[in-house]
Amino acid sequence: MTDTNPVTSGTVADAPPDNWLDRHAPDWLKPYGRLARWDRPIGFWLLFWPCAWGLGLAAIADPLRGFDWWAMVLMFVGAVLMRGAGCTFNDIVDRDIDDKVARTRSRPIPSGQVSAKQALIFLVVQALLGAVILFQFNRFTIWAGIASLVLVAIYPFMKRITWWPQLFLGLAFSYGALLGWSSQTGGLSVPALLLYFGCILWVIGYDTIYALQDVEDDALIGVKSTARLFGDKTRPIVGGFYAGAYVLWLAAATLAGAGIVFAVLSLVVAGLLAWQVQTLDGNEPGNPLLRFRSNHYAGLGLALTLAFLADWVW
């Protein structure tokens, strides 16, 4: 008989069923892939999309330079590596908390699939490979990328000391918007900063939705989140964050030189954000997770990327 208990079978409770890692990876690699969340790829997509948007914004600002496809490939690989490193670090720090939460007690460290020491070695390997990617870019981008490690390092501790851990996740997960722009320009300017601030609001919104899954467990063990802070007002507050994100993205594109093409195509993004808020129900099992995943799987990340690319081509 097949073991379907996540803790004893090795699978992770919130991983998609029949994911490629559980089906195809060798047994020795599976625990490390679960540490890096290779079985839940939406995270590295959400880390990557701001990079693509920064590249698209830079292409609009200087159409003759064009869109740097090779930089996009490098940043995608870097997003996979650094998201994996960040999740590994998070699991090392949170191993005692994860053991007390139903959704996370099946993760590799609390379930005993790997030790904290093994996880630390895996973290170093991913970070070194990420550094190889980072050093392909200009000096400003390299130093900016190194500076972002401060945000990565402090994020796992924020849920213990502030009601706003989602803000710190936003600061870290949105950083690619700055790196995408600076990799092409060698510095920063107002459009890039507006794009970054918009991404921060977006991350706060979607991670608040994600945190609705753990509200009861978080309350029992004293973990803080914006989902707990907002309570019954979660929908309108998330709607406000999403509205602010869209306005900032539109302002960033306009200042960079975008025109009617971006404005029209970006309405798809606005519609997807509005749908998340309008249909959100934290009391319905699976509802928050589906809305969270729509930030990639229903096309929001791709839709905004295509809006930047289409305006550049136009």
* 294 CB neighbour count, 10 Å cutoff: 19
The pLDDT score that the predictor gives to residue 62 is 94
The DSSP symbol for 16 reads P
The pLDDT score that the predictor gives to residue 208 is 96
Q: How far apart are CA 160 and CA 128, in angstroms?
A: 29
Residues 6 or more apart from 274 whose CB is under 8 A from it? 239, 242
Mean pLDDT to the nearest integer, 27-40: 89
Per-residue pLDDT of 244-278, as tens digits, reads 999 999 999 999 999 999 999 999 999 999 999 99
pLDDT over 80 (residue 98): no
The pLDDT score that the predictor gives to residue 10 is 62
The pLDDT score that the predictor gives to residue 19 is 79
Q: How far apart are CA 110 and CA 173, in angstroms?
A: 25
The pLDDT score that the predictor gives to residue 236 is 96
pLDDT over 90 (residue 4): no
Per-residue pLDDT of 201-228, as tens digits, reads 999 999 999 999 888 888 888 889 999 9
Do the beta carbons of residue 180 and residue 50 sit within 8 Å?
A: yes
Residues 6 or more apart from 133 whose CB is under 8 A from it? 74, 75, 77, 78, 81
Mean pLDDT to the nearest integer, 168-197: 97
Do the beta carbons of residue 110 and residue 90 sit within 8 Å?
A: no
pLDDT over 90 (residue 90): no
For each of the domains in the chain, give its residue range(s) and CATH number, in order of start. 23-313 (1.10.357.140)
Q: How confident is the model at residue 95 (pLDDT cuts 50, 70, 90)?
A: confident
The pLDDT score that the predictor gives to residue 7 is 43
Mean pLDDT to the nearest integer, 72-98: 91
pLDDT over 50 (residue 3): no
Q: How far apart are CA 134 and CA 128, in angstroms?
A: 10
pLDDT over 90 (residue 282): no
Q: How far apart are CA 234 and CA 273, in angstroms?
A: 14
Name the average pLDDT for the chain. Answer: 90
The pLDDT score that the predictor gives to residue 8 is 42
The pLDDT score that the predictor gives to residue 214 is 84
The pLDDT score that the predictor gives to residue 2 is 39
Q: How confident is the model at residue 298 (pLDDT cuts 50, 70, 90)?
A: low
Do the beta carbons of residue 50 and residue 195 sit within 8 Å?
A: yes
The pLDDT score that the predictor gives to residue 6 is 44
Q: How confident is the model at residue 108 (pLDDT cuts 50, 70, 90)?
A: confident
The pLDDT score that the predictor gives to residue 273 is 96
